Structure formats: structure tokens, C-alpha cells
Structure 1
Amino acid sequence: MTCRIVDYADQMTGEPSGNAQLTSTLAHRIFLGALPNSWVPREKCPDYAIDYNIEIMKNNKSTGVFFGVNVKGTKKPSYGRDYLSIPMETNLLSYYYHEVKIPVFLIVVDVTRKAAFWLLTQEYVYKILEKTNPGWREQKTISLNIHLSNKLDKSGERFENAVISGMEFLYLQQFQLPYKEVTERIEKFYNSEAMDLAVKKERERQFGIKTTSYSCSQSICQEEYDTIDKQADFEIKASLIIAENLSIKDPKENREAYYHLSDALAIAGHRANPRIRYIAMGERYYHDYIYHLMNFFNINPDMSVNQLHLRYHTYFVAMGELIETIYSALDEEELVAASMLLVRLADIYFSAFPFICTALGHNKAFPLLDSAQELLELAHNLTSAVENPGAILQ
């Protein structure tokens, strides 16, 4: 059974369908022939978006390194001084960037010269398109520039290094993409009418300052706070105190704190003050993150990049849940809770820093500190807006 069909990328060469089929077939042969003999390409059927999943083998043993490729052949690529340009569907790039968790390389094959060149798609989107052409998703296709030094040769050494670098990049993206999304969400909210209204409501709740009349359809007004079950608040506060007095870095005490918080939220969360509920939820997710992060790195102190890339899911799940809690707090106009949760998110980046330093080196880890600092500044801005509304209320 063969999967070799002419896809949209092949058709963009502008050749008649028969010629495009031949060009595509020849391109695949050239690419496969240029791979090191020990590497194992597995053709995908059907091959939407990714033609092959490739496993890097050494001494007949798997290295655990996998990556995907999309092979595009052309007879007349557009060459520049030190690069070649090729058109690419933006929906494919978006799919690679947002959905695929392994490195995906675009392989452009000049079938006339019998030369193949690679481009790491996810990194190109993040470092080039997102910065130079933020509206690229609105286009149907976009031109990609591939450096001519990224030429595939039989040794595969430079290409293998690019694959390893790609795995490191995708791992670190699990920190950077959520940070980018959170900061954009907070900044958008901060400059909206919803922020103005939230500040007014928070000031009335905290200080009894009546600034204006407003609807309570999306939040709990002061009068409603009076009807909240005080016992529920007490139970959740008690779980927070217990968690505070237990060591988050001790696995046993961490789990004890986590279950105290979880039990209190399950029993009393729906009846409690939203602010207290969101803070307790944030603490629970933070404890879960620290537990899985430390457990992972302590068990695998000398892990390779492929282990780092393939087994990180548990602590990033907890991180994602904390971020969703931040969004929920904003939706309920709980600015103080959202601010405290942002501080916890910053703590996640701080706590990951020493482990990433050990695994990937200081240069790769330092951006985590920058992200953490920016999150702390956003948290400060939210609380300052409540305490000193200034221009926001003008």
C-alpha cells in the first residue's frame, strides 16, 4: 500500500498534476536517500500535514528521539543570496504550532539539484512570523525563507542537532506560550471597560465605597456577600492555614496539603466567597505542580532531552488548571484573587528555573525568570488598580 499522493503543498508548484506527481515522488526519494541509514522513517497513512514520523536510531537502538516531516518538492525554488523561499499553507503552520507536540520539519527538495533543506516550522512561527507578521493566520499561504546552510547530508549530524534543539524549543514553549496568552489576556482586560467596572466593585466590597450603580448579572454584589455561608469560608480558610504550615517540597506533606485543600473545596467551595474559593483552587494546583515537577526531576536527574520532552505532561496539566482559574477569577471580576493567582503562576516559573538550568543550561532557563518578573508586575498592577484606581476611574 502506498500513501504517495499529491497534496496541496505539491500543487502550489503550479505544475500540471502529472508533473506535480512525478516531482513529489522524486522529492520523497531524494529526501529518504539523504537520511542516515540508521534512521527509521515511518510513512503516515493518510499523510495530512505530516508525511513521515522519523525515529533516530544509533547502534540498532532507539534514542527515543522522534520528529515529523512534511516533504515538498519543486523544480524551480526561488533562491535568494543565502536562502530559498517556498510558499506554505498557513493552516498547516498553525496546526504544527498549536497542536503537534514533536518537532515538525518542512523539507524542501530541489529535485533539479537533488538537494534537500530543512526548516523547523514551530520555531519559525514563534521567532519570525509572530514577530514580523502577526496577522499571518489571516492569509491562505505565506512565503517561508529557508537558510541554505540547512542542507541535509548523509551524515545527518547537523540535522540531528536541529532535531534535538527543536525538542528543547518545544519543551520550553510549554512555559512560554501560556505566559504569552496570560499576559495578553490580562493586558486586554486591564484596558477594557470590564476592568473599570471590576475595580469599582472591588472597592465597594473592600472599603464600602459606592462609586456608581451597576448590574450584578456577572458578579456577586456586596448584598449577596452577606448571604454567603460563613462556615464554608471558615472551612476553606482552615485548609489554607494547614497547607501553609506544611512543606510544599516534602512529598508527603505536599500531598497532605493538597488533599486538605481538595476536600475543603469539594465540601464547601460552592458556598464560599468566590475570592477564597479561587485562592484555595490556586493553592491546590500550585501544590500539584510542585509535587509532579520535583518528582519528575528527582527521579530523572540526568535525563536526556527526549525524556524531558516526552514525559512532562503531569506538571503542565496543573499549570494549565491554574491558568484557567485565573481566567475564571477575572470573569467573576475577582481582581484580588486573580492577582494572587498570578503571583502563584510566577512562582511556577521561579520553581522550574533550577531544574531547567540543570537539564538544558542557564541560557535556556533565564527566560523563565523574565516571565516570572513580568507576571509579578501584572499582579501588582491589578492590586494597585483597586487600591489606587487613579486614571482608571476617571
Structure 2
Amino acid sequence: MQPRYPQRPHIHVLETISERFFEGCLPPSWTTRTTENDYGIDRYVDICAEQEASPLEFLVQLKSSEAESRGDTEIIQLKVSTYNYLWDKLQVVLLAKYCEETNEAYWLLLKDVPEPSQDNETFTIRIPKTNTLSTIDWNEIKKYVNYVSKGKLEAWRHRER
């Protein structure tokens, strides 16, 4: 009789594929790290400039599916509590969904997600399929992260005075 071993379900394989795809789309000098306790943050992305680290970072909520959604948008279901948690973070949050069928991921900044009703447990986010991760302009993301970071630091400095 052959020994039996634990099974690795396809959903775990798909998660690994989506993580590798996401990391493969980043500029080579940028780094990512995971979190031990996932309350909606799957990745921290550190923005580096060539060989120099920077204090800039953003957070990523990464979803995946085997098939893509129909129509012009990709759909993510998110818990309202997760949205609230991510919204109240100081860092910029990028949502991404990888689709195995097309081997593509789609992205949206959390700032562009309409606020959900607090009466619901979950809500639907629609990401335009024109927002492909493979063609994202990371310089624009970096500029936005820098803008938000500077604004929050300035607000904090003025508060202390």
C-alpha cells in the first residue's frame, strides 16, 4: 500500500501563483514582505530607488480566482470590516486580483473604492480590466505614495506644534 500524504488544494497553488505574478510585476529594486497576521494586508511593498532604500511603502490586498469575471470589470468581494481596517491605515492600499484563466492581475487603489454601507458584512468592488498589473505605471504609484506620505507627515508635524 502506498503511503498517503497531505493534499495541497488548488486554492493554495493559486494563491502562490498570484503572489509570484504580483512580485514579478514590481520594479526589480522594490521589495515585498508578508505579514504573519493577515487582517487584510497580504503584502507590504517597500519602494526603493535603484540601490537606495526609501521610507516609502504601500500595502497590498491580493485576491485570486481561476476564472475572470464577465464584462469590463473584475470583481472582488471584501468584508466591510477589512475595508474599514485598510482605510484607517496610514499607508496607501492597493487592491489586486489575479485571474488564472488570463494569467493577468487587475488593480485599484483603495482611495478609488466607494465607501460601503456599514450595514453589510461584505461588498463588491469592481476593478476596470484596463487596470492591468502587467502594464501598471509604477512611477505614478510611487508619486502617489510619496504625495500621501508627505501630506500625512506634514499634518502630524502641524498637530504637534
Matched residue, 2:53: 62
Selected match of 1:120 from 102, 109, 115: 109
Higher relative contact order (CA 8 A, sep 6+): 2
Cα distance change on mapping 1:74 and 1:89 into 2, 3 Å: same
CA-CA distance at 1:310 after TM superposition = 3.7
Counterpart of 2:75 in structure 1 is 85
State which structure, 1 or 2, has the greater radius of gyration over its C-alpha atoms: 1
How far does the alpha carbon of each residue in 1:324-368 deviate from its partner, in whole angstroms, 9 at most, with x for none? xxxxxxxxxxxxxxxxxxxxxxxxxxxxxxxxxxxxxxxxxxxxx
Counterpart selection for 1:37 from 28, 38, 52: 28
Higher helix fraction (1 or 2): 1
SS of equivalent residue, structure 1 residue 62: coil
Q: Pick from 292, 313, 324: which aligns with 2:156?
A: 313
- Alpha-carbon distance change, 52 to 92 in structure 1, aligned in 2, over 3 angstroms: same
- Residues of 2 paired with 1:112 and 1:89: CA distance? 25
Secondary structure of the residue that 1:78 maps to in structure 2?
Answer: coil
Report the CA distance between 1:124 and its aligned residue. 2.6
**Matched ranges for 1:42-191 at <5 A:** 42-81=33-72, 83-97=73-87, 99-121=88-110, 123-125=111-113, 128-129=114-115, 136-153=117-134, 158-165=137-144, 168=147, 171=148
Change (3 A) 1:62 1:86: same
Name the CA distance, whole Å, in 1 between partners of 2:153 and 2:53. Answer: 14
Amino acid at match of 1:124: D
Shift of 1:162: 3.1
Between the aligned residues of both structures, percent identity stands at 21
Instruction: Could you tell me which runs of 5 or more consecutive residues in structure 1 were left unpaired when the two chains were aligned.
Output: 1-16, 172-305, 319-394
CA RMSD of aligned residues (A): 2.3
Change (3 A) 1:166 1:124: farther
- 1:37-60 Cα distance to aligned partner (Å, 9 max, x none): 111112222232111111111221
Describe the shift of the 1:316–1:148 C-alpha distance in structure 2 as closer, same or farther (beyond 3 A): farther
The 1:59/1:92 distance shift into structure 2, 3 A limit, reads same
User: Does structure 2 retain, via aligned residues, the 8 Å contact 1:152–1:159?
Assistant: no
**How many equivalent residue pairs?**
154
Distance in 2 between the 1:111 and 1:90 partners?
26
The TM-score with structure 1 as length reference comes to 0.36
1:150-299 equivalent positions in 2, closer than 5 A: 150-153=131-134, 158-165=137-144, 168=147, 171=148
CA distance in 2, matches of 1:40, 1:111: 23
Q: Unaligned regions of 5+ residues in structure 2, if any? A: 1-7
- Given that 2:39 and 2:82 are in contact with CA atoms closer than 8 Å, whether structure 1 keeps it comes out as no
Residues 103 and 163, structure 1, Cα contact 8 Å, conserved in 2: no
Alpha carbons 1:103, 1:167 under 8 Å: kept: no
Contact 2:47 2:142 in 1 (8 A): no
Which segment is superposed worse, 306-315 or 110-119? 306-315
Contact between 1:167 and 1:309, CA under 8 Å: does it hold in 2? Answer: no
Q: Which amino acid aligns with 2:23?
A: L
Shift of 1:22: 1.8
Paired with 2:17 and 2:44, the residues of 1 have a C-alpha distance of: 19
Structure 2 distance, partners of 1:72, 1:162, is 19
Instruction: Tell me which protein shows more strand as a share of its residues.
Output: 2
CA distance in 1, matches of 2:160, 2:107: 32
C-alpha spacing 1:317/1:108, structure 2 compared with 1 (3 Å): farther
Once the 2 structures are TM-superposed, how far is the Cα of residue 308 of structure 1 from its aligned partner? Answer: 4.0
Aligned-partner Cα distance in 1 for 2:120–2:139: 32
